[in-house]
Amino acid sequence: MTLNSQIVRLTTLFDHLTQQAKVIDRQNANNKSHYLVENSNLFNKHLFHTDSDLFSDYVDEARTKLNEFIRLSSKKDKQSFIAKERLQHILGHLEQQINAIHNAFSSNSSLHQAAKISFDAHKKARHKRVQRYQASQPKLQQLAQSVMLSSHQLYAKLSEHHEFERRLLLMISQREEQRKQSKGLQINKLSAEVLALHQRLGRCRKAISEIERKIEMSEKTQ
């Protein structure tokens, strides 16, 4: 095949590749799962310098190589050994680029189909996470209300026990005054009552300390 016929063949082929690349790029842009493959290495880095998710950019780079081939083939010294070797090298590289683009076009559909499966799986998993989160909100609110209710109950209980403590201290004070003014068996009876009241006071203060500890723990969890 002559150089001119090769140039005509390649030029016609690149016109077709350019149109096909534009169509596929538009399809990919409208595909929601495209972002999953846009960073994939579609081509060998030694074959193309371009780094893009658009096929048109790779076709443009290959067309630049074709223009170089056309330019060199028009030179007067194209029949020299060095010129022939250069043209052959460019043509070989160009054919490799064209084959790679054809293969990428062919695999584009299956690549995006696999990406769509992955995209749908991620979407389904994300939807389930949202549902679980939404379902957990009423439970969290109920728990928060329960904690608040428990906290209010503890403060009410603490207030109640402080009132018990106040009344016990008053009763002890009254019994002590009565004992000072009493004689004989009455003193022994009052002493026994004071002892019993002190024991009740000790239990009351122990309960107060326990309630205060529970309130502190309850407030830390809020």
> Is the domain of 153 the same as that of 123?
no
pTM of the model: 0.49
Under 8 Å between Cβ of 73 and 7: yes
- Name which residue leads in pLDDT, 121 or 8: 8
Could you tell me the sign of the dihedral formed by the alpha carbons of 44, 50, 54, 59, in that order? negative
Domain count, the chain: 2
Residue 139 lies in a domain: no
CA pair distance 119, 196, nearest whole angstrom: 76
CA pair distance 116, 24, nearest whole angstrom: 16
Locate 110 and state its tokens: 């299956």
> Is the domain of 119 the same as that of 179?
no
| pLDDT averaged over every residue in the chain | 79
pLDDT at 19 over 90: yes
Q: What is the pLDDT of residues 161-170, one digit of tens each?
A: 888 888 888 8
At 18, is the pLDDT very low, low, confident or very high (cuts 50, 70, 90)? very high
Residue 93 lies in a domain: yes
Question: Quick one: which H or E segment has residue 42?
Answer: none
pLDDT at 34 over 70: no
> Is the domain of 150 the same as that of 126?
no
> Is the domain of 111 the same as that of 66?
yes
Q: What is the pLDDT of residues 105-161, one digit of tens each?
A: 888 777 667 556 665 666 666 766 766 766 655 665 655 555 554 767 778 888 888
